[in-house]
Amino acid sequence: MRAVVLRELGDAGNLRVEEWPMPVPGPGEVVVRVRAASLNHRDVWIRRGQYAGIRLPAILGSDATGEVTAAGDADGKSWLGREVVIDPSLEWGPDLRAQGGDFHLLGMPTEGTYAEFVKVPAANVYAKPSHLTLEEAAALPLASVTAYRALVTRAAVQAGEIVVITGIGGGVALAALTIAVSLGATVYVTSGSETKIASAKQYGAAGGVTHRASGWPRTLLEMIGRRPDVIVDGAGGDTLAQALDLVKPGGRIVTYGATCGAVPSLEVRRIFWKQIDIRGSTMGTPEDFSRMLDLYATGVRPVVDSVFLLENVAQAHARIDSGDQFGKIVLRV
């Protein structure tokens, strides 16, 4: 089969299509013929060498949709020929509150979805939501399960609450916007780009401010008219520090990423005086994934920024490197 193989860490040009052995399913496993795969920031961290436990050569990619072409046992055979999406969380473990020590993601060190075929546990395939295109279905798994767990399982967002989502151009952030709007929340966003704020309004955001301007929390507070109940943040750094100022007393902050690195100075007094609840969130359990798909089945659609052919994976990575994307970047296989 053809697969995108990363043999050397570095820039996007290091991702090259090669011939690679076909995966063979073992007991409890199926092979999926990949029709579309999508990029996540994790792939960029790995490509640049900024991720723990990198093993090369690697086939990156956590997200895919396609059809099941082979099964390792009778259980998997019921999936043969069916269109599926793949849950990229492997071996979550028994505790629903947090993943266990064996937890890992599809796509390094396991062979990922930037390929014509991928092998996964049969328990990780789910029927593709029928109202979604292949590209939309491929855009779902990692970003949407992360957003779903952050908003629903961890923050327990209620209809009528005010939710602020930082860095709305990101894949997880945009999934969070569409999910929060479908839950009945009023959503405000931040972005480095005014154009992205305008686009977010088309997907249901009530408004937004650029996080490039100093004092953005005050501007956002004036826009909303009251402090938000929940802030969902994947940026970390100064943005997370400022979220402590912005959130209402007794409010919740869910953190799922650190694109901007560590928080430079943590104002501990803010946390205890305002009785802020800071909740970490990573990926999701099989239950989170299944409930996320149920929510999309009500008609919710993910936002696709652009579609590239597998051969043009370097261009797709150059786009995510640029930060110009609004939504998910998809590879058509």
274 belongs to the binding site for ligand NAP (CB under 6 A) = no
Among 61, 234, 251, 302, binds ligand NAP (CB under 6 A): 234
CB of 75 to ligand NAP, least distance (A): 28
Q: Which CB, 40 or 124, lies closer to ligand NAP? A: 40
CA angle 313, 316, 321 (to 5 degrees): 125
Q: How many CB atoms lie within 10 A of CB 160?
A: 10
CA distances (Å), origin 135, targets 128, 172, 222, 302:
11, 16, 38, 9
166 belongs to the binding site for ligand NAP (CB under 6 A) = yes
257 belongs to the binding site for ligand NAP (CB under 6 A) = yes
Q: How many CB atoms lie within 10 A of CB 261?
A: 11
129 belongs to the binding site for ligand NAP (CB under 6 A) = no
The answer to whether the CB of 292 falls within 8 A of the CB of 145 is yes
146 belongs to the binding site for ligand NAP (CB under 6 A) = yes
Residues 3-42 that bind ligand NAP (CB under 6 A): 40-42
196 belongs to the binding site for ligand NAP (CB under 6 A) = yes
The answer to whether the CB of 298 falls within 8 A of the CB of 183 is no
204 belongs to the binding site for ligand NAP (CB under 6 A) = no
Q: Which CB, 146 or 186, lies closer to ligand NAP? A: 146
Tokens of residue 134, six digits: 């292949």
Among 1, 9, 258, 318, binds ligand NAP (CB under 6 A): 258
100 belongs to the binding site for ligand NAP (CB under 6 A) = no
CA distances (Å), origin 70, targets 54, 77, 90:
29, 7, 19
The neighbouring-strand residues paired with 36 are: 65, 332
CB of 80 to ligand NAP, least distance (A): 31
The answer to whether the CB of 236 falls within 8 A of the CB of 255 is yes
Q: Which CB, 30 or 230, lies closer to ligand NAP? A: 230
Among 170, 228, 251, 302, binds ligand NAP (CB under 6 A): 170
211 belongs to the binding site for ligand NAP (CB under 6 A) = yes
47 belongs to the binding site for ligand NAP (CB under 6 A) = no
CB of 41 to ligand NAP, least distance (A): 3
Distance CA 283, CA 89 (A): 7
Among 26, 109, 250, 323, binds ligand NAP (CB under 6 A): 323
Block residue for tokens 């920024």:
305
320 belongs to the binding site for ligand NAP (CB under 6 A) = yes
Distance CA 6, CA 31 (A): 21
What single string gives the DSSP state of each residue in 300-317?
A: --PPEEEEEEGGGHHHHH
CB of 49 to ligand NAP, least distance (A): 14
Residue type, 167: G
Q: How many CB atoms lie within 10 A of CB 147?
A: 30
Distance CA 280, CA 67 (A): 34
Stretch touching ligand NAP by CB under 6 A, among 3-11, 92-100, 153-161, 165-173: 165-173
Residues near ligand NAP (CB under 6 A): 40-42, 45, 142-143, 146, 166-173, 190-193, 196, 211, 234-235, 239, 256-260, 282-283, 320, 323
